[in-house]
Structures are given as C-alpha cells and as structure tokens.
Structure 1
Amino acid sequence: MTTDFLAIAQTALAERLEGEDFEKSVSLRIKDVGNLMILGNAANVSDDRADCAIIADQPTFEKILKGELNPMKAALFGKLKITGDAKTAMKFGALFG
C-alpha cells in the first residue's frame, strides 16, 4: 500500500464535496496509509483530531470512493469503524448514496 492512494482519495473526495459544507470535521483514517481530514468542502492530508473518525483499510475506502460500497452498510458489516459524532458520520455517508 502506498501513500499515492491519499492523493487519489483526496481528488475523489473533492468531487463529492463540491457544494457541501461540513461544519464538523471528519477524519478518514486509512490503515497503513495515512489520514484525510474533511472540513467545510475540502479534504486535506492531516493527522489532526476530528469530531468524527472513520477507520478502514485501503480496499474498503477504494470501494466506497468508487460507489461500490455504501459507508453505512460497510459499518454494519464491520468493514469500517466510526468513532465520535455519529451525525457527522451519517452526513459523510450521504455523500455516497
């Protein structure tokens, strides 16, 4: 796994975040790769603490970003872990259908 995925994910999220406004921060913690922080309508590489953290491996995030896996279903099946503000996590999930 490489950190190149962070750049790919950042670009994919930028498209999804267009017109959005996250008042609270969401940290996407990609195991063995790195972290992306969503705040407002931007996603940036950051290790800062967020209001909500969504934790999963790279293959799971790849499927979510491609629209092949709904984040809420992924959480229900244990593919990703959510900590912190659940309402913010649900808003993130709504970006993907």
Structure 2
Amino acid sequence: MSDVVNAAVAALKEKMSGSLSGTAKFVIEGEGALIVDGAEVRAGDEAADVTLTADRETFEAILAGDLNPTAAFMQGKLSVDGDMGVAMQLGSVLG
C-alpha cells in the first residue's frame, strides 16, 4: 500500500467516533484503498457495502474537515457506489 493509504488509515482511526454498521471502502485514485468495518480501519480492497471513490486531494480535504463529503458528492468530486445509508452513517460516525 502507498504512504497515502497508510496515512489515511491512521487519520481515519483518529477521527472515528463510533462504530459503523456495515463496511465501507474508500478508493483513493492512483493510491489504493482502505476499509472501514465496524470501528476498525485498515488498508484493503475487498468487497464492501458501499464504495466511495475520490482523488487524493479530495480525500485529504474531506479528512481535514475542509470539504464536506456531501458537498464533494454533489460537486462530482466523490462518487458513491452501493448502500447510501451506510455512506450517510459513515459521515456521522466520522464526526
């Protein structure tokens, strides 16, 4: 996995304020993927209930709190494939 994915795993672990009921995969274009499963965050590319895809810049802005995930989705910077309920829950779990 890339340094970007490893840094994203560490950042997400710090931001998680609860447990997700389902699995979510973040795909960072050109870098790799990570999985949020319950309260666990790890590098991985297995199947998930929802897959969120963004470029590195967008993903980092979301993690930093500079870009709202819903706004990123509406602007076409973040694509969501799968269970929108899990995606919305992820937004609230991240705080």
Fold equivalence (TM over 0.5): yes
d(CA) in 2 for partners of 1:31, 1:52 = 16
**Unmatched tracts of structure 2, length 5 or more:** none
Percent of residue pairs identical = 35
Partner of 2:14: 15
- Tell me the TM-score normalised to structure 2 length: 0.93
CA deviation vs aligned residue, 1:1-53 (integer Å, no higher than 9, x gap): x81111111111001114x1112000001111000000111110111010000
Q: TM-score normalised to the size of structure 1?
A: 0.91
Higher relative contact order (CA 8 A, sep 6+): 2
Counterpart Cα distance in 2 of 1:14 and 1:53: 18
CA distance in 1, matches of 2:12, 2:48: 17
Question: Any unmatched runs of 5+ in structure 1?
Answer: none
The total of aligned residue pairs comes to 95
Aligned residue type for 2:82: G
RMSD: 1.4
Q: After TM superposition, what 4+ stretches of structure 1 lie above 4 angstroms from structure 2?
A: none
What residue in structure 2 maps to residue 3 of structure 1? 2
